[in-house]
């Protein structure tokens, strides 16, 4: 049994890069659902599933729309987070603070 996840993924990637459709499908599934500490990566899943689907894998063809939708959702969530991040400073400056640091000590307003 393989205990080193990183090594296993490296082997799958090598096999997928060499055109093995089963490895491409496995990588697509892995990146779509995530594995252990590795979260999902819909864009990577879409790339591997596209390669497997191009070789005729019907399972990859079925999973591809799910990966594409997940990539769109991830992109939209990123766009929202970036927009919120730009306004975080405004919230921080407008929040009422009752204590402030000055001259190596805390003071109450």
The residues spanned by each domain of the chain are 5-80
pTM of the shown model: 0.71
> Which is it for the CA torsion 53, 32, 72, 37, positive or negative?
negative
Percentages (nearest 5) of helix, strand, coil residues in the chain: 70, 10, 20
Distance CA 10, CA 17 (A): 10
For residue 97, pLDDT beyond 90: no
For residue 91, pLDDT beyond 90: no
What are the structure tokens assigned to 94, written together? Answer: 């407008």
Residue 40: CB atoms within 10 A of its CB come to 16
Average pLDDT, the chain: 86
For residue 1, pLDDT beyond 50: no
> E strand or H helix at 24, and its extent?
helix 21-33
Q: What is residue 104's predicted lDDT score, i.e. its pLDDT?
A: 86
Residue (of 76, 16, 75) closest to 50 by Cα position = 16
What does the longest C-alpha to C-alpha distance in the chain come to?
Answer: 70
């Amino acid at each position: 049994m393989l205990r080193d996840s990183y090594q296993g993924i490296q082997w799958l990637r090598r096999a997928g890069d060499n055109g093995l459709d089963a490895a491409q499908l496995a990588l697509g599934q892995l990146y779509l659902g995530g594995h252990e500490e590795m979260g999902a990566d819909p864009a990577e899943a879409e790339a591997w599933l596209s390669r497997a689907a191009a070789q005729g894998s019907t399972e990859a063809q079925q999973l591809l729309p799910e990966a594409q939708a997940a990539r769109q959702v991830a992109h939209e969530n990123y766009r929202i987070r970036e927009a919120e991040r730009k306004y975080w400073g405004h919230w921080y400056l407008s929040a009422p603070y009752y204590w402030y640091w000055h001259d190596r000590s805390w003071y109450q307003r």
